[in-house]
């Protein structure tokens, strides 16, 4: 029966003793980090001044993490495994730091934190200390790809790391609190997308210690048979290890890990030997040990070990309360540090000898420093995928369609290091050319009528933005490349995940040994203006605003207006490093404005005047029509055309913005346009009517320091919409060509009677379109007439 | 065995025939809505002009929804149940609209859509048509509380509706795609929080039709035994109904629903009769029917029914392709409309007779129009919970602590209509006074050492922001009240859910029969500046920015600076209707500035000059120090004090902002301050140093139309931080008192040598604090000296 223990005791007495000594050492170092700033080896009685003034950290989860880490090391050494460790309860920072110090990796990365008494004091002092290191398994920690401050994403990161890493085993400790989150609950079935032949393995360890901050955990308090039923249903073979007697738990865990790793090996042999790739039943472990195990049983008469009170700092009054101080000293001495560290403070040989060598140490696994193993993509020349544009607006294409063809060949050229992720929207977003070359990865059952499913697919589709994001993050963090394509509105689902990844990118820029990663690339389509089968619920262009709040060093936003600009933009993004690139582009057929050569130049500049659409003849214009985004560009060009034909004396300048960050000042963003250039393009005092894809406030925000910002009038999404025609959508939000013309007339002084006449015609045209659409259910034919009609002779 | 069918055929022939007729009618009306704009009863052969020019909608899920709806109606009539219907696959809008029309509710709400031929034509034409109704089960649909555009939240909404609604049964159809999302996967265990004695029941119907947009669904393609194992593990008793022969499926579904409802009744009898409240095994249904069932089998030689191609519009070329047109006509006539509707176009009596009466109709259930059943809260007088403030800064309190006491008594006074929701952070956010009066609701196992758990608790804590949000939304949408308290950083987890709720609030403002709901209230603590055990990962004040993008009519943001202002703010929020109120407040002890009377006045004004902290004597100041948020207020007052003492001749005005929306212009937001008042307070031309809680850009965004915005200099969170002291955090982000003084000196012209001297002292003080903190791990004692030291004599 799967919940039973191995009958034998796999650890010989001496091995058990040494393993337990390692665990005691890790626990000692954990407690030391939380409490001590001096006297690390307790060479003298503890004194209040040796205690940190602010006690900050999380003890509760740490002994369990240390236990699992120690036992995984044993299996790595015995089996010569490539393994990495993901700490779901990332607040157990001191535990993981302790292990990396015992392994020597910490000292290799940070030589001043030497493996001796002086280094141990530094190690202790720096933890959660001003100027020191954070309390979580942050990017500073060798071997970490997962900080875990926000809970929910450990298992998806683990799977992401395992894809296309056939020799890797990703051990993933999931805290019982984290297991309550939706994203984690949705992660278990990632095994439907894991190919045992070409991917690595994930070994989930669900650590039930019973409590969160103040509450029990749900999975700890449902019947164990129900818990196992869930996990079995998700396709795992769960093994339970439970107890609070260390020796017994050591034996059980060692035996269970041996069994699990045997099964993983057998699964992989079967899949790789026979070529028959099926979804196996992967082993996993449920570990039940007390929260804050080996810590104080009681404090001030209240139970602590095994309760929620062990979550953070069990003894909180150590500096001022002599009883707490004495209890801390007893706690620390209970680990018998004198047996664990030699006279210099180094781990004794029998402990140091337990850790794997070199890159086999989980903290030194090269995959955990993804930039180190990153190989450039082989990119087919995007120019070969260009659409022909004999003249602006002369041809029509779906922007994503052309890029889909290019992505198809990116996939072909990089079969081992690039994947496309999407929540069941790759085809809907018109990237379906990729299926000419590959499948959707799928290890579940198949039926007649299924479309391009297979175990070797390079497209990962699951109806969970969380999983797409988490898998991709794990994939990028271990040195590979990818693109996430989603409906624009629903990418907000991963807002908080983006926050965490942006923070990772920001902090790792300051860590010399961390090498740059491939960028996290979003291709958002079915955007606010064109998601025709759906209505208001599918309209939200605010992800851009969310991303722009992140550190400017890591954030890029692109709004290519047509097919060729999208191609060159995507090529740029896939070559870039360590950014979050947000690209928003349409999927519906729409006019192409720029030839490939023009597109490359325009994208490189990021924004520019489109002289062929302007009537300012290179002189100072009367008004600037600016635009960003495909639909706003279409409306702006149509408005420019209306003005050109009906007010030919008006000098109109059309400016298109593809790189939104160019709008910011040089000081605010590395892409920021210098003020002089900005003023040259946008003028210092002429009205600027800016048609923007998203919420108008962002344009004001980006430009508020510019000289001409008082004259900036932005049209964008006003949170108005429903299921209606595309043109009705822009009318509902006053972004339509007619309204833009009205805006111009209202803002350029002294235009006279002809302009007033045109203004009324525009108002009438809106009304006419409105009524026609409501009557006939489609856009008035005249909308197509009132369009950009090609270059002037 | 639970997957087996009831052995008998519960439906007599006539009942089966009638039920099937109802189903055919609903399916007919569904197809009609997707395709037709005329000839609704097919009185003449279909002509292209009768087909909508744009075919938009989702057929695939609809026949399954219609089937479940029909069968639930049968049980409602037989058992006189109070039931409501939540449509997870909310894109099945036409199906639910069809049912509400058959029930007569649609016509009651929208009399022009009469239950006759003319009304049927309107019904068809309006669907997904400009000027008509959206394609989803939007707020326009009677009986809907769940639009379902974004998938994942149906089951949590269902549980939210069931809490404190003992007579209600919430039937919730979960589409198989939706079941893949994390939030849905995390929802199953909501039953650990449902009390069978005082809450209603949720009946989940997992509808497996096999496909999403382009992919199979994961749950459809794992072994059925695994699926059932998952559901059993989650505490349900799943019953499978599967098939594609209507009569057989009708019999199975009727029998299974009878059994499930018997079990629900038995569970409730047991809990309510014996008083022994345990977590039962609730029944649920797994329904396997073909996607697009009864639709075209093949189109253009490719299979459609039962495949992903049935997801949206199976026949897409009807206007131009005569074969498609003919196929559509065969499809529609296959339902034999002449048997379903009488000569006037009304449903025939044997169909109309099947629907429940009056409020028993799911589309007329008063709970689904929450404002209609909403009862005001009984609110204890918040003044009674005031902290004493003999003089500004004279006492200290944790702002949330005082509010916790008030919330305790709100809970006591409203035992049937108010709950407090939080992701295991109620105590951490210092609201633990509530546990003097109530428990955390918990139906799982309990152990010694647990803290305030019980089946009757009014506090809902689960480590899932999604669940907290979804439950609360369901609770509010059915006419109750609540507060969601969370760490500020992680509330981004529910960004996209907030979007959907904001959209609901916006659209329902325009629907006369929808009554206003209680507001969705957030109390965010452990905010960016004070979450001491954690570091950078816990720092993100951007939720405010996210919310501000939503429609101004529904959004309110408050930053009370101390305990009494928080009390009056929360009282205001709990009395308000139909808003999203975001309140950010600290939990750490900090100075109280305003007595309760002053707090009430200040909160009512939303912002104002604090004369006791100013040195402008009511005259025009040299500089304005503005602040919003508790920590920025503290730093601003300390800066004002430094200036008062060291540059006494400088006229400093201190302005505190509690209602952020006051900063916007009158035209932009209903709370916007008129320009003249704004100019009076902030001046038209003096420097304004604005210390803001969150990302500085928001203040610029809100004020960019104000006369003085060029002189506005905002300090806020710059995305810099780690685990450090509170004062070090503000220094890292240049929001500290010393930096604010430097800002003043740098911006007020002509201050002379004394100011230059002070400036250098401030720079030195920062350096000194920095070094002290890095050395000793706590803030320099001088930080406390350089503080606001009470009113001047």
Burial class (CB in 10 A: 0-12, 13-18, 19+), B466: buried
Q: Which DSSP string corresponds to B296-325?
A: -SEETTEE-TTSGGGSS-S---TTT-HHHH
CB contacts under 8 A, A 685-724 vs B, are 695, 697, 700-701, 704, 709, 719, 722-724
- Using a CB-CB cut-off of 8 Å, the residues of chain A touching B221 are 192, 442, 444-446
What is the pLDDT at residue B5? 46
SS3 A593: coil
DSSP per position, A401-435: HHHHHHHHHHHHH-TTTEEEEESS-TTTTT-GGGG
**What is the model's pLDDT at position A4?**
45
Give the side-chain half-sphere CA count within 13 A for B256: 27
pLDDT of residue A438: 98
Whether B385 and B425 have beta carbons less than 8 Å apart is answered as no
Tokens 């702002």 sit on residue: B399
Q: Name the strand (E) or helix (H) holding B173.
A: strand B168-175
Nearest chain B Cα distance for residue A450, angstroms: 7
Nearest CA in chain B to A538: B149
Q: Which of the four pLDDT bands, split at 50, 70 and 90, describes residue A790?
A: very low
Share of chain B above pLDDT 70, in %: 98
CATH: 3.20.20.60, 3.40.50.620, 3.40.50.720, 3.40.50.920. Which one for B623-785? 3.40.50.920
The pLDDT score that the predictor gives to residue B4 is 44
Strand pairing category for A282-288 and A201-208:
parallel
The nearest CA of chain B is from the CA of A138 a distance in Å of: 9
Q: What is the mean pLDDT of residues A738-766?
A: 95
Closest chain A residue by Cα to residue B534: A135
Q: Whole-model pTM?
A: 0.97
Q: In the CATH hierarchy, which fold is given to the domain comprising A13-365? A: Rossmann fold (3.40.50)
Of A462, A345, A542, A702, which is closest to residue B219 (Cα–Cα)?
A462
Taking the C-alpha atoms of residue B320 and residue B165, their distance in angstroms, rounded to an integer, is 52
Segment B317-335 shows an average pLDDT of 97
Q: What is the mean pLDDT of residues A498-503?
A: 97
C-alpha–C-alpha distance, residues A523 and B597, integer Å: 53
Distance from CA of B348 to the nearest CA of A (A): 31
B297 inside 8 A of chain A by CB: no
Q: Please name the residues in contact with A775: beta carbons below 8 A apart, sequence gap of 6 or more.
A: none
Nearest one of B563, B530, B550 to B693, comparing CA atoms: B530
Chain B contact present for A62, CB below 8 A: no
Interhelix angle for A246-274 vs A13-35, to 10°?
Answer: 100
Does the pLDDT of residue A7 top 70, yes or no?
no
Asked if A162 contacts A199 with a C-beta cutoff of 8 angstroms, the reply is yes
**Chain segment A337-354, per-residue pLDDT in tens:** 999 999 999 999 999 999
Q: Is the pLDDT of residue A377 over 90?
A: yes
Rounded CA separation A361/A95 (Å): 16
Which of A50, A90, A139, A181 to mutate to probe the B interface, most B CBs <10 Å? A181
Residue B282 has pLDDT above 80, yes or no: yes
Taking only the tens place, the pLDDT of each residue in A537-559 is 999 999 999 999 998 899 999 99
* Per-residue model confidence as pLDDT tens digits over B250-264: 999 999 999 999 999
- Asked if B494 contacts B488 with a C-beta cutoff of 8 angstroms, the reply is no
For residues A454-471, average pLDDT: 97
B192 contacts on A by Cβ (under 8 Å): 218, 221-222
- Which of B134, B188, B453 lies nearest to residue A722, judging by beta carbons? B134
B638-655 pLDDT, tens per residue? 999 999 999 999 999 999
Q: Which residues of A touch B447 (CB under 8 A)?
A: 210, 216
**What's the CATH superfamily of A392-444+452-591?**
Thiamin diphosphate (ThDP)-binding fold, Pyr/PP domains (3.40.50.970)
Contacts of B12 (CB under 8 A, 6+ apart): none
State yes or no: pLDDT of A121 exceeds 60.
yes
Please write the tens of the pLDDT for every residue from A135-151: 999 999 999 999 999 99
List, for residues A575-590, the tens digit of each pLDDT value: 999 999 999 999 999 9
Q: Is the pLDDT of residue B791 over 70?
A: no
* A490 has a chain B CB within 8 A of its CB: yes
Nearest CA in chain B to A148: B537
- A232 contacts chain B (CB < 8 A): yes
Inter-chain touch A535–B776, beta carbons under 8 Å:
no
Decide if B428 and A213 are in contact by the 8 Å CB cutoff.
yes
pLDDT for A176 equals: 85
pLDDT-based confidence at residue A101 (cuts at 50, 70, 90): very high
CA-to-CA distance for A166 and A163, rounded, in angstroms? 8
Condensed to tens digits (0 to 9), the pLDDT of residues B402-438 reads 999 999 999 999 999 999 999 998 998 999 999 999 9
pLDDT score recorded for residue B793: 33
Residue B789: pLDDT over 60: no
Q: If you average pLDDT over residues B360-366, what whole number do you get? A: 98
Residue B784 has pLDDT above 80, yes or no: no
* Number of neighbours of residue B412 by Cβ within 10 angstroms: 16
What does the pLDDT average to over A384-390?
97
Q: How far is B619 from chain A (nearest CA, A)?
A: 29
Interface probe, candidates B94, B292, B449, chain A, greatest A C-beta count within 10 A: B449
Q: Distance between CA A284 and CA A203 in Å, rounded? A: 6
Sorted by sequence, the CB contacts under 8 Å of residue B718 that are 6+ apart come out as B696, B732, B733, B734
- The model's confidence at residue B59, banded by pLDDT at 50, 70 and 90, is very high
ipTM metric? 0.97
Q: What is the DSSP string of B750-781?
A: T-HHHHHHHHHHHHHHHHHHHHHHHHHSS--H
pLDDT band for position B533 (cuts 50, 70, 90): confident
Q: What SS3 string covers A251-299?
A: HHHHHHHHHHHHHHHHHHHHHHHHCCCCCCCEEEEEEECCCCCCCCCEE
- Chain B, 593 to 612: residues with Cβ < 8 Å from chain A are none
- Whole-number CA gyration radius for chain B: 30
Beta bridge partners of A49: none
List pLDDT tens digits, range A663-684.
999 998 999 999 999 999 999 9
Tens-place pLDDT, residues B235-245:
999 999 999 99
Contact at CB, A536 and B451, closer than 8 angstroms: no
Query: Which pairing describes strands A459-461 and A82-87: parallel, antiparallel, or unpaired?
Result: unpaired
Interface of A with B in 147-186 (CB under 8 A): 147-152, 177-178, 180-186
pLDDT of residue A381: 98
Kindly state the helix (H) or strand (E) to which residue B256 belongs, with its residue range: helix B246-274
DSSP state of A707: T
Same-fold call for A392-444+452-591 versus A623-785:
yes
Q: Do A149 and B534 touch (CB under 8 A)?
A: yes
What lies within 8 Å, CB to CB, of A362 at 6+ separation is A69, A72, A73, A76, A83, A84, A85, A99, A103, A143, A171, A356, A368
Which residue among B128, B149, B538 sits closest to A538, beta carbon to beta carbon? Answer: B149
Q: List, for residues B731-767, the tens digit of each pLDDT value.
A: 999 999 999 999 999 999 999 999 999 999 999 999 9
On average, the pLDDT of chain A sits at: 95
Beta-carbon separation of B147 and A426 below 8 A:
no
Sheet strand arrangement including B481-487: B453-454, B440-441, B459-461, B418-422, B481-487, B520-525, B580-584, B555-558
Predicted local distance difference test score (pLDDT) of residue B786? 72
Instruction: Show residues of chain A in contact with B536, CB under 8 Å.
Output: 134, 138, 149, 503, 507
Looking at beta carbons, which residues of chain B come within 8 Å of A492? 495-496, 499, 546
**DSSP E strand boundaries for A24-145:** 82-87
Q: What is the average pLDDT score of chain B?
A: 95
Q: Scanning every residue of chain B, which has its alpha carbon at the shortest distance from the alpha carbon of A91? A: B534
CB < 8 Å to A229, chain B = 229-230, 232-233
Look at residue A605 in the predicted model and tell me its pLDDT.
97
Residues of B in contact with A235 (CB under 8 A): 222, 226
Average pLDDT over residues A241-257: 98
Cβ atoms < 10 Å from Cβ of A401: 20
Residues forming beta bridges with residue A86, ordered by sequence position = A172
User: Domain locations in chain A?
Assistant: 13-365, 392-444+452-591, 623-785
B739 touches chain A (CB under 8 A): no
């Amino acid at each position: 029966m799967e919940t039973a223990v191995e009958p034998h005791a796999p650890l010989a007495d001496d091995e058990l003793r040494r393993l337990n000594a390692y665990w005691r050492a890790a626990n000692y170092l954990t407690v030391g980090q939380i409490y001590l700033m001096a006297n690390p080896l307790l060479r003298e009685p503890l004194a209040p001044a040796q205690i940190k003034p602010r006690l900050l950290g999380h003890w509760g989860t740490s002994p369990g993490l240390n236990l699992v880490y120690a036992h995984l090391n044993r299996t790595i050494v015995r089996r010569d495994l490539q393994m990495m460790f993901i700490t779901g309860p990332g607040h157990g920072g001191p535990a993981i730091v302790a292990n990396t110090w015992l392994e020597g990796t910490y000292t290799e990365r940070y030589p001043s934190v030497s493996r001796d008494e002086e280094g141990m004091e530094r190690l202790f002092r720096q933890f959660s200390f001003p100027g020191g290191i954070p309390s979580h398994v942050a990017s500073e920690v060798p071997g970490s790809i997962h900080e875990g401050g926000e809970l929910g994403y450990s298992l998806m990161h683990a799977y992401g790391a395992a894809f296309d890493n056939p020799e890797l085993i990703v051990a993933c400790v999931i805290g019982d609190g984290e297991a309550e989150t939706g994203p984690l609950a949705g992660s278990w079935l990632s095994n439907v997308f894991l190919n045992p032949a070409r991917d690595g393995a994930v070994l989930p360890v669900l650590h039930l210690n019973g409590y969160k901050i103040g509450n029990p955990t749900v999975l700890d308090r449902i019947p164990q048979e129900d818990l196992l039923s869930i996990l079995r249903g998700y396709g795992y073979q769960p093994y339970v290890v439970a107890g609070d007697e260390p020796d017994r738990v050591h034996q059980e865990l060692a035996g269970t890990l041996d069994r699990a790793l045997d099964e993983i090996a057998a699964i992989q042999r079967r899949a790789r030997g026979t070529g028959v790739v099926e979804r196996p039943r992967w082993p996993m472990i449920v570990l039940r040990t007390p929260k804050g195990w080996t810590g104080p049983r009681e404090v001030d008469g209240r139970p602590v070990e095994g309760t929620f009170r062990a979550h953070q700092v069990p003894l909180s009054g150590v500096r001022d309360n002599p009883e707490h101080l004495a209890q801390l000293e007893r706690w620390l001495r209970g680990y018998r540090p004198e047996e664990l560290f030699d006279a210099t403070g180094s781990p004794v040989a029998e402990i140091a000898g337990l850790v794997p060598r070199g890159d086999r140490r989980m903290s030194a696994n090269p995959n955990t420093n993804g930039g180190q193993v990153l190989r450039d993509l082989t990119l087919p020349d995007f120019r070969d995928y260009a659409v022909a544009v004999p003249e602006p607006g002369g041809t029509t294409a779906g922007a994503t369609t052309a890029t889909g063809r290019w992505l198809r060949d990116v996939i072909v050229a990089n079969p081992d290091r690039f994947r496309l992720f999407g929540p069941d929207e790759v085809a809907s977003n018109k990237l379906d050319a990729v299926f000419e070359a590959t499948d959707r990865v799928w290890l579940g059952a198949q039926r007649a009528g299924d479309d391009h499913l297979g175990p070797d697919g390079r497209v990962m589709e699951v109806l969970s933005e969380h999983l797409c994001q988490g898998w991709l993050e794990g994939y990028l963090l271990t040195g590979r490349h990818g693109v996430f394509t989603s409906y624009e509105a629903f990418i907000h689902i991963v807002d908080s995940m983006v926050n965490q990844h942006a923070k990772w990118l920001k902090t790792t820029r300051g860590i010399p040994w961390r090498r740059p990663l491939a960028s996290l690339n979003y291709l958002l389509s079915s955007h606010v203006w064109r998601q025709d089968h759906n209505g208001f619920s599918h309209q939200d262009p605010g992800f851009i605003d969310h991303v722009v709040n992140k550190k400017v060093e890591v954030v890029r936003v692109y709004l290519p207006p047509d097919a060729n600009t999208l191609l060159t933009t995507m090529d740029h993004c896939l070559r870039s490093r360590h950014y979050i690139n947000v690209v928003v582009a349409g999927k519906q057929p729409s006019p192409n404005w720029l030839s490939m050569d023009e597109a490359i130049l325009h994208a490189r500049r990021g924004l520019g005047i489109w002289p062929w659409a302007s009537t300012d003849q290179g002189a100072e214009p009367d008004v600037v029509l600016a635009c960003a985004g495909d639909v706003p560009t279409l409306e702006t060009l149509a408005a420019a055309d209306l003005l050109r034909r009906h007010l030919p004396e008006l000098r109109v300048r059309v400016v298109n913005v593809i790189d939104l960050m160019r709008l910011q000042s040089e000081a605010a963003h590395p892409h920021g346009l210098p003020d002089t250039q900005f003023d040259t393009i946008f003028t210092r005092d002429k009205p600027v009517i800016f048609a923007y894809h998203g919420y108008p406030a962002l344009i004001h925000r980006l430009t508020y320091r510019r000289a001409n910002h008082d004259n900036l009038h932005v049209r964008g999404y006003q949170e108005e919409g429903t299921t209606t025609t595309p043109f009705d959508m822009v009318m509902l939000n006053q972004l339509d060509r007619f309204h833009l013309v009205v805006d111009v007339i209202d803002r350029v002084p002294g235009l006279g009677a002809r302009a007033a006449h045109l203004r009324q015609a525009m108002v009438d045209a809106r009304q006419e379109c409105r009524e026609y659409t409501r009557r006939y259910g489609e856009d008035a034919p005249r909308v197509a007439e009132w369009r950009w009609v090609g270059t002037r002779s």
